Amino acid sequence: MQRWGFTYPLDAVPIAAHREVLQQAESLGYTDAWTAEVDQLDGFVPIAPAALWTERMRFGTAIANVFIRGPALLAQQAAAVAEVAPGRFVLGVGASSPAIIENWNGMEMRRPLERVRETVAFLRQVFAGERAANETLGVRGFRLGRRFADPPPIFIAALRKKMLELAGSEGDGVIINWLGPDDVPKVVSVAREAATRAGRGADAFEVVCRIFVIPTDNDAIVQAVARRAIAGYMTTPVYSGFQRWLGRGEALAPMQEAWAAGDRQQATALVPEQVIEDLFVTGDRNACLDKIESYVKNGVTVPVLSFLPAVLDFKELGKRNMELIKELAPR
C-alpha cells in the first residue's frame, strides 16, 4: 500500500474544525497526518482529538524536539498519544534548530547527534518498561508508569550523513525535508545502508518526506512564497550545510552572503530559480501529483504534503487548504 500524508493541522484552520477534514482525507485515501513543531502548535496535542475522529489514519510527530523537553516528559507525551491512537502513532524525534532551541526556548543546542542517539536509547528502555538512567541526558532513574501493549515506532529526523546513519541504525524510519526528488536517492541510501548493517530490515525502513507544495500556476505567488521560505531556511547553519552537501552551495552562496550582510531584500532576490524549481511542488493538480510521485519513485515511502500559502486572506487560506485535501488526494 502506498502511504500518502499531509501536514496537520492545516494552516489557518482551527483544530476543532478538522473533524470533517480528517474524515474526508481518510475516505480519499490519505493514510497519514504528521504534525510540525515550529512557531504555531506543539506536535502532540493536535493528534489526540484527531485520533478519536478517525479510524485508520496514522499520526506522527515531525518532529518532537529532543532539546526543549526533558526525556521523561517526552516519553510521557508519547505514551499519552499512543494510548489515544493505539497502533496508529509514530514518534518522530529530532534535533531541530538553534533558532527554536536557543533563541525561542533559552536552551543550549549542544552535541545534537549525541542528544538524539541517547534520547532514542532512553525511549526504547522506558517503552519496554525498564527503569532508565542516562548520564548524558542527566536522567538518574525513571520508569514509565504506564505500560504499552505495542510501543510506538521511533523515526529520526535527519539531513546529513551522520544523522542519517543514526536514523538507519537506531530508528524505525527516517524523516527528511527540504530536498528535491533527484536528491532523494543520495539521502535515502545512507540511511538504508546503515539499517542493513544494523540488521534492521532496510526493505521495511520507512522514509517520511515533508514536501512543500505551492499549488498555483501564478508565478508571482510561487516566487514570493518560495523566495521567502528559502531565504529564511537556507541561511541557517543546519540547512545551508545540508544544501552544500546536496551540491547547491555555490548556487546559494550569493543569497547567503547578502543575508549575512543584513540585506534581506537583496538576499531574497538572489534566490536561484533552479533551487525553487528543485525544492517546491507547484502548478495545477496533475503537475503537483506528478512531482510528488517522483519523490516516491526515488525512495520516499510516505510523502507528507505541506501546503504553503497561495492566498493572502486568512479566512480564504483556511478554506483553500481544506479544498487542497481533495484536489491533491492520491490518484
pLDDT confidence of residue 148: 81
pLDDT confidence of residue 204: 83
pLDDT confidence of residue 297: 98
Percent residues over pLDDT 70 in the chain: 100
Residues contacting residue 154 through CB under 8 Å, at least 6 positions apart: 90, 91, 92, 93, 120, 123, 124, 170, 171, 172
244 vs 135: CA distance, rounded Å: 34
* 136: confidence class by pLDDT, cuts 50, 70, 90: very high
More confident residue, 312 or 78: 78
pLDDT confidence of residue 276: 98
pLDDT confidence of residue 58: 98
211-234 per-position pLDDT tens digit: 999 999 999 999 999 999 999 999
Sequence-ordered strand ranges (E) for the chain = 5-7, 32-35, 58-61, 64-65, 89-94, 132-134, 139-142, 154-157, 173-177, 206-214, 280-282, 302-307
Calculate Rg over the CA atoms of the chain: 19
pLDDT at 55 over 80: yes
pLDDT confidence of residue 141: 94
* 289: confidence class by pLDDT, cuts 50, 70, 90: very high
pLDDT at 201 over 80: no
CA distances in angstroms from 326 to 6, 22, 49, 287, 321, listed in the order given: 11, 11, 21, 15, 9
pLDDT confidence of residue 139: 96
129 Rama class: left (phi>0) / alpha (psi -120 to 50) / beta: left
pLDDT confidence of residue 30: 98
pLDDT confidence of residue 256: 97
Q: Cell triple for residue 57?
A: 489514519
pLDDT confidence of residue 215: 93
